Structure 1
């Protein structure tokens, strides 16, 4: 495998559990694609050298068979239409009207395998091997994988990461910068085109494209391509919408109809219920209520974890960390180089919740709150807990840091700003809320404020 160019998607698989109504656009769910004709399947097989037997045999209708999944992906590539439109992720690495022909030129063959289980797919001299992780992806994730691998055929390779979860390890998983035009950039450009220029893509597919572009672009390039700012997101009392305060304006975003706690992620926010996390997309509403499971941030690791009491993805400097608290009251941090959870550490107290801020301290971090109200700061570099002064007031639902101030959501549903020892209503808002986070808003996409 020394000659193989392995595209390790590093757990950025995209599994979507959602439902949508039939629309005029191309479908985004495998189950909504119609049967292919035998002639279409034969054409795709010839054009891309598909080893049909390795994918489960020739299948025209049933997307439970991996062959049909691959055919669905090729159908999306062949049928996708793009208009004009500007975006700082669109550089013209691939001609927008020639994705099918370009992929055909870069693909000598495609087979199904499971010889490198920690990879989603790899490219060896133009021959792509789709791993088990590939089969778990959404249509968008699989198309992105296809495009990513094709760029490797042209000689583009990855280098070690200087930031993100793989910072400081030898694994080659990043590109030096966006203008290098490597596999990451070509993949991100496709997502941006779907969102900004796409004509006949389903609105949920376009939403997923924005989520994927943001989640990956913010760490796979050693020179930052996106610039973030911070905004406040508050979940309405009836949990039917999110109110976002950004650059002096409020706007509304659709939220998944699921129970759980509002949490910050590297791409924005999720609703976390202890079993899964469902994405909230910041840039525009799709008009569809489909609950999109988060497989963009590292909340995706919940799919491999059971019995979770709390979970947090957070950055410390340039390094990204993921920590879980189990129902057994043990703490573990994910070991990215090893691709598995580190050893569990028993805690000498019962954890009530995790918080990224505490009252009176405007420095964000990760704090454990005990059921007795004691507060401990988790130091990821040493994996030690440091006791903090004061007690947690359990009439505080959430505490966040925004613009060097603590905002506090109280049990009365109102948001307050801390001023010394006192609390004052924040922005005089009369709305009542059930969740509060500070979210990153990146300059990759326009924020449609409605």
Structure 2
């Protein structure tokens, strides 16, 4: 009887796991020829432009699109659970049929290189950028573009990377239910209500919602707060939320801890690996950052030494230091890196916060002189009379608290009168730390 129970339990577990949809293109099964033909007919897909009707190999773009449609068709959601992003703009049971009703045709070109995709009267054109993205992001793009068929257009941005530009890249607010909103709603549903999605897909959805929703709405639907994330000398990650350390797994790679728009990542010069802040386990093994603008690393030939995504006066900037001892920034309007500028000094380290509390992107040379990135001149300039304290490894500003990680691996705090005291909260020996944004869009698990 016991053996029979174990056998039945194992079978049920196996069946339940087999029902989970893949998150990686390589894990999708071959599709039947009849199913592919039905997709082509239903969505009026220009098969030739997608590389032919490939049924198995996801390196061919047609199979990528087929995988996306399978996720939309077979994804299931529960009815129990709430989230500020879930407003029922689209019925959770009707994503596939809704997409079908919004689509007159889909083809594949690279005629608008500044976009990942565009919608012209219900005809979707997927660009090279679309083909380089993982399944989750591609599905989000399909939902996003489908909303444009109902005449939901974008407006100019009052914050973020496209601030003060002619680009219409933002929605006024979330309540309007525009293209950005229905995309965020899908991500939230997957993360909170998804029944048969892979855990990696669900975690990616949560990070995608956080990384994008904080700047694509001129009136943000979420509120941000600052927290400290630190890596202990033993390699463990610690998230300090309301001064309570929460253990977090970090990617098993050698690199530099960086702040991102969704939280934090480990930068390794040629990639960035996201850290899961909202969950207590690492559900993102080997996943690279395609959520924040660290994703730009994946499509550049630049040999990078350092990289920073940061906001100044509500505008988002991305600046990189290359192996040629030069700096370059990303021009979002033109979707390309600026011409490299040779640095007049040799940087020894970088920082995003100074002991005065000033924030930005700073390089420090071997003489401890500080050079600040001037966003107007697009260059680094020596603009401080004081030097970087060589005893300081890193500085982070968390709300009103200025925290200093010294070379002795201890975290200190600067008091209101300027004294530097050992922190009574951040106890232990640390390798690195960074101030990170947390948002009320999702709960932080203990």
TM-score scaled by length of structure 2: 0.91
Counterparts of 1:356 and 1:143 in 2: how far apart (Å)?
34
2:91 counterpart (88, 95, 102): 95
Find out whether 1:39 has 2:41 as its counterpart. no
Matched residues in 1 for 2:118 and 2:281: separation? 33
Give distance in 2, aligned partners of 1:443 and 1:210.
12
Q: Mind listing any 5+ residue stretches in structure 2 that lack a counterpart?
A: 1-16
Tell me what 1:7 maps to.
none
CA distance in 2, matches of 1:428, 1:170: 46
Q: Does 1:127 align with 2:116?
A: no
2:246 corresponding residue in structure 1: 251
Local SS of the residue matching 1:81: coil
Aligned partner of residue 60 in structure 1, secondary structure: coil
What is the rounded CA distance, in whole Å, between the counterparts of 1:75 and 1:222 in structure 2?
A: 33
Which residue of 387, 391, 397 corresponds with 1:395?
A: 391
Q: Which runs of 5+ in 1 are unaligned?
A: 1-21
Cα drift, residue 139 of structure 1: 0.3
Over aligned residue pairs, what C-alpha RMSD do you find?
A: 1.7
Contact 1:278 1:291 survives alignment (8 Å) = yes
Residue 368, structure 1, aligned to residue 363, structure 2: yes
State the alpha-carbon separation in 1 of the partners of residues 159 and 31 from structure 2.
Answer: 44
The answer to whether 1:275 aligns with 2:264 is: no
Give distance in 1, aligned partners of 2:88 and 2:406.
49
- Kindly state the Cα deviation for residue 346 of structure 1 after the two structures are TM-superposed: 2.3
Partner of 2:64: 69
Contact 2:319/2:327 (<8 A) preserved: yes
Q: Alpha-carbon deviations, 1:273-322, whole Å to 9, x = none? A: 11111111211145545122112111122221422221111111111111
Give the Å deviation of 1:24: 4.9
Tell me which residue corresponds to 2:202.
206
CA distance in structure 2 between the aligned counterparts of 1:343 and 1:60, rounded to whole angstroms = 42
Task: Indicate whether 1:424 and 2:410 are aligned.
Answer: no
For residues 415 and 138 of structure 1, the distance between their equivalents in structure 2, rounded to whole angstroms, comes to 38
> How many residues were matched structurally?
426
Q: Is 1:59 the equivalent of 2:40?
A: no
Cα separation, partners in 2 of 1:428 and 1:140, compared to 1, 3 Å: closer
The partner residue of 2:102 within 106, 126, 129 is: 106
2:180 pairs with 1:179: no
Q: 2:45 aligns with which of 42, 50, 56?
A: 50
Following TM superposition, by how much is the alpha carbon of 1:376 offset from its aligned partner in structure 2, in angstroms? 2.2
Q: 2:231, 2:237 within 8 Å by CA — same for their partners in 1?
A: yes
Using CA pairs under 8 Å that are at least 6 residues apart, name the structure with larger relative contact order, 1 or 2. Answer: 1
Query: Does structure 1 residue 151 correspond to structure 2 residue 138?
Result: no
1:434 aligned partner: 431
Question: If the length of structure 1 is used for normalisation, what is the TM-score?
Answer: 0.91
SS in 2 for 1:129: strand
Partner Cα distance (2:424, 2:233) in 1:
17
Quote the Cα distance in structure 2 between the aligned partners of 1:82 and 1:231: 32
1:362 and 1:404 in contact (8 A); partners too: no
* C-alpha distance in 2 between matches for 1:75 and 1:310: 39
2:331–2:337 contact (8 Å) kept in structure 1? yes
Shift of 1:418: 2.6
